[in-house]
């Protein structure tokens, strides 16, 4: 291992994992944009009202879990990196719930058939969820890699008697 790499590892003892933390904040931000975007449909059905209600509750859970994870990955706690990975998977899965199903759905208002979600709105919702998921996956991968590297470095320091 090169001297520079050794120092980089040693720096992790005192520097926080800001990359993963910032990526997690970005994931939350993208989720907030998605959250705002789904409200831009003023036409709906009973089914979609229920789905949006559920989505609101999940958004709250997501933001809390993601914020908690951001603190965890900041301190190189591997468990939180895995949680971020899970949150990323759920963000991808959400694409197939509201945006996809709303795009295919129509509703009749005053004898006119209207699409529940327009194409542009659908695209934005998908992009926001994808961005959020990518940020979660990246934060998770970086967090796992860094926390393992730090643990190995700490173990080697302990073996050397430092």
Partner 1 sequence: MSELSVQHIDKIYDNKVQAVFDFNMDVADGEFIVLVGPSGCGKSTTLRMIAGLEDISAGKLLLDGKDITATPAKDRDMAMVFQNYALYGHMTIYENMAFSLTMRKENPNVIHKKVLAAAEILGLTSQLNKKPSQLSGGQRQRVAMGRSIVRNPKVFLFDEPLSNLDAKLRGATRREILLLHKRLSATMLYVTHDQTEALTLADRIVCMSMGHVQQIGTPLELYDSPANLFVASFIGLPPMNFYDVKVQEGELLGEQFRVKLNEEEKSRLQGYEGKEITLGIRPEDVAPGDEANMTVFSNENLGMNTLVHGHLGGTKKATDKISAKMRGWCNYKAGDTVGISFHRKHFFDKETTNAIRKEA
8 binds partner 1 (CB under 8 A): yes
Stretch in the footprint of partner 1 (CB under 8 A) among 5-13, 49-57, 66-74, 94-102: 5-13
For residue 117, the 8-state DSSP code is S
Candidate ranges 8-16, 50-58, 77-85, 90-98; the one touching partner 1 (CB under 8 A): 8-16
Is 77 one of the binding residues for partner 1 (CB under 8 A)? Answer: no
Contact positions with partner 1 (CB under 8 A) in 11-70: 11, 13-15
Strand partners, 115: 106
Q: Give the nearest distance from C-beta 3 to partner 1 in angstroms.
A: 9
7 binding partner 1? (CB under 8 A): yes
6-10: long-range pairs with CB below 8 Å, 24+: 9/149, 9/150, 9/153, 10/153
| 1 part of the interface to partner 1, by CB under 8 A | no
13 vs 148, which CB is nearer to partner 1?
Answer: 13
Question: Looking at beta carbons only, is 3 or 42 nearer to partner 1?
Answer: 3
DSSP 26-95: HHHHHHHHHHHHGGG-----HHHHHHHHHHHHHHHHHHHHHHHHHHHHHTT-HHHHHHHHHHHHHHHHHH
């Amino acid at each position: 291992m090169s001297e520079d790499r050794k120092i980089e590892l040693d720096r992790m003892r005192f520097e926080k994992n800001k990359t993963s933390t910032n990526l997690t904040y970005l994931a939350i931000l993208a989720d907030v944009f998605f959250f705002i975007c789904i409200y831009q449909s003023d036409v709906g059905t009973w089914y979609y009202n229920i789905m949006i209600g559920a989505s609101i509750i999940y958004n709250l859970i997501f933001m809390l879990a993601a914020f908690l994870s951001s603190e965890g990955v900041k301190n190189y706690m591997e468990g939180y990196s895995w949680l971020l990975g899970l949150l990323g998977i759920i963000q991808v899965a959400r694409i197939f719930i509201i945006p996809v199903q709303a795009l295919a759905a129509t509703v009749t208002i005053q004898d006119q058939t209207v699409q529940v979600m327009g194409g542009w709105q659908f695209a934005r919702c998908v992009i926001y969820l994808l961005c959020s998921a990518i940020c979660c996956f990246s934060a998770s991968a970086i967090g796992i890699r860094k926390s393992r590297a730090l643990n190995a470095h700490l173990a080697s320091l302990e073996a050397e008697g430092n």
